Amino acid sequence: MTRLTIAVTLLALAATCSARTHSAGNLFLHARDVDEQYDYIVVGGGTAGLTVADRLTEDGETTVLVVEYGELSALTTRLGSDDSIKTVTGGFAGISDPSHLFTIQSLPQTNLANRTIAVVAGKVVGGSSAVNAMMTIRGTVDDYTRWGQFFHDDDDDESSHWSWDGLLPYFKRALTFAPPGEAVTKEAGITFDTAFWGTAGNDTDGTTPVYAGWPSFQYPGTTAQIEAFRGIDGVPFVNDSGAGEAGVYWYPTFMDPTLVERSYARTGHHDRAANRENYHLVTGSRVLRVVFDGTTATGVAVVPVSPEDGDEATETIVGVRKEVIIAAGGIHSPQVLQLSGIGPRELLESAGITTLVDLPGVGQNFQDHPILRPAFTYNNFPIHPNPQDLILDANFSAWTDTLWNTNRTGPKSLATGNAAAWLPFPIISPRALNLSDALTTQNHSLSLPPNTHPTVLAGYRAQMLSLASALASNGTAFYNLILTGGATNGIVVDLHPLSRGTVNINTTDPFHTSPVVDYRALSNPLDVAIMADLIRFTRRYHLSNPLTADWNATEVSPGEATQTDEEFETYFAESISPSEYHPSGTCAMLPRELGGVVDEELKVYGLEGVRVVDASVFPTLVGGNTCQPVYAVAEKAADLIRFGPPEGYERA
């Protein structure tokens, strides 16, 4: 983003901020003011939607309208106000502002002591990329090969263009990699390999508008905690996070290295497209449904989120010449399809909606990353400075503030951190083969609701058989431990949960209420055993590791009394969250006979002119944070839309 773009956008915002009754340039505040028809309409101005819209309008001729529920947050720079979205420090400032978030509560979770869970997603231009923890993670080669293999029965990676090789060019296109500074690289021992990344002027089309950057400081304890994994046999160390390998490694942050601010879909894509006459954005608006002639999309029905007097029932129909691209995320994309008559027939009929296409998989296969909360404290952690010194050491805190206020360097340039372990299950657990066999032979139908459609059950079984193989392999990361560089540690993530939930419209008032979200946490009983072994391994790292012994760790939670799987099940019921804010899978890219919603070109089965492009198409979760994969999928989708599938591709 150039300084000129910043200035132009600021002027545009200044012209529009005084009242919602005016529009400026290509930013619209009412759907009634947009053009009557566009080549493409993108439903959702988030991570995927803005990426696709930017790429489609690069030619200056293709017209695109983006419809976003949230608003355009005021653009700020280092000379402006302290906007929560741009703030890097700590990584969680964006999510601290409720105005930027959808806040939905899940159904009570039967296996989690009937707790309800906050379902969090970005509600602002930029979507969840504006409010996430800024972790720039890809996952492993096997995560993406698995996607293609659901369509093809052989083990040939090239049998599908959904594979690591098929996505790596789009990972590289999606981001501009800005290496860490020479001093911090040497001092912390950071490793990286730019061969896995896009760099300015070195990618396929000359631009990678979203940054993967690095802070100017690392706590020395982080390096020590990385090295401590060498005290456990078999733990792999990876030179670069983008290599697609499981192991312990450093990884970058979604951060503009010059401004030292969050880099996200709004700054990287909307602001890049903002002055194109063929790119339009309407905010504060909701797509109620897709409009069809038969099964061909002809437009969308849009209503205002906050109607003005007399506008509550106003519905604006905007026409589309080519395609409607649904990019509303794992929670709201299935809602849009179901409200449009595409989904499980029984559900739609109970809501009084005419079924256009009976597609049982819409809203099913819901996945997210569960967060486990073991807590360990080091009683003798002699490595300083560390994060606790920001509170306990006044001199260090003052020095930190001085560096930040002077030139935006130092500890405040750190988000959530830049190092972690992402490990395969055979390293984690001595019973990896046994659990793999148990998952293979399990009666998979018992883990799904009793009325599950046979195609959805078939898809679930295919996923479980694939993950059973992954449990016994070193190619898929199941375990994630973030390294803080400090004397307290607490978050472990289960990267491949086996349980599946649902996201469906509220049948009592489908058009005016939020979707009904059910994580169905721990509905597959093997999740308990896997998660228990994740914590047992974490104990091993902290308590039975010769390279952490001198730090004298104390286990705060769950505590020594929790040892058996049954005891862990009780602990999990009270402590885990089934969500790391990575909702996925609800419009799965799978064969239709496996409960799929979209095909390998992301086209919705049974329709013409409708695709889905966001994390809802992930058939299985990746072993990492979902933001970078969403960017890559969106970049690939833009090419599928513009140029069709790769040469030589044959539909399964």
Q: Indicate the annotated binding residues for FAD.
A: 124, 287
Q: How far apart are CA 266 and CA 254, in angstroms?
A: 12
Residue 231 exposed, middle or buried by CB count within 10 Å (0-12, 13-18, 19+):
middle
What torsion, rounded to 10 degrees, do the Cα atoms 14, 15, 19, 23 define? -130
Element (H, E) at 531: helix 526-543
Q: Which residue has the tokens 């890559």?
A: 632
Cα–Cα distance measured from residue 372 to residue 424, given in angstroms and rounded to the nearest whole number: 17
Task: Burial-class residue 551 by CB neighbours within 10 Å (0-12, 13-18, 19+).
Answer: buried
User: Residues 231, 214, 49, 266: is their CA dihedral positive or negative?
Assistant: positive
- Residue 514 structure tokens: 């939020």
Three-state SS for 489?
strand
Helix (H) or strand (E) holding 187: helix 182-188
Amino acid, res. 629: P
Q: Which residues contact 165 (CB under 8 A, 6 or more apart)?
A: 157, 158
- Going from the C-alpha of 80 to that of each of 21, 86, 216, 408, the distances in angstroms are 25, 11, 22, 14
Calpha distance 12→416 (Å, rounded): 33
Paired residues of 285 in beta bridges:
304
Q: How many CA atoms lie within 13 A of 147 on its CB side?
A: 31
Look at strands 316-326 and 37-43 and give their pairing.
Answer: parallel
How far is Cα 72 from Cα 28, in angstroms, rounded to an integer?
Answer: 10
**Structure tokens belonging to residue 580:** 């790391």
Taken in order 225, 230, 233, 236, is the CA torsion positive or negative?
positive
Q: How far apart are alpha carbons 356 and 547 in whole angstroms? A: 61
Q: How many helical (H) and strand (E) elements, i.e. helices and strands, does the chain have? A: 18, 26
CA-nearest of 631, 562, 606 to 327 is 631
DSSP state of 207: -
φ, ψ for residue 162 (rounded to 5)?
-95, 95
Residue 80: other Cβ atoms inside 10 A: 12
Q: What does the alpha-carbon distance between residue 282 and residue 315 come to, in Å, rounded to a whole number?
A: 14
Cβ contact 137:251 at 8 Å = yes
- Show the tokens assigned to 309: 């007097």
Instruction: Specify binding-site residues.
Output: 124, 287
Distance CA 161, CA 601 (A): 10
- Which of 248, 241, 250, 249 is CA-nearest to residue 140? 241
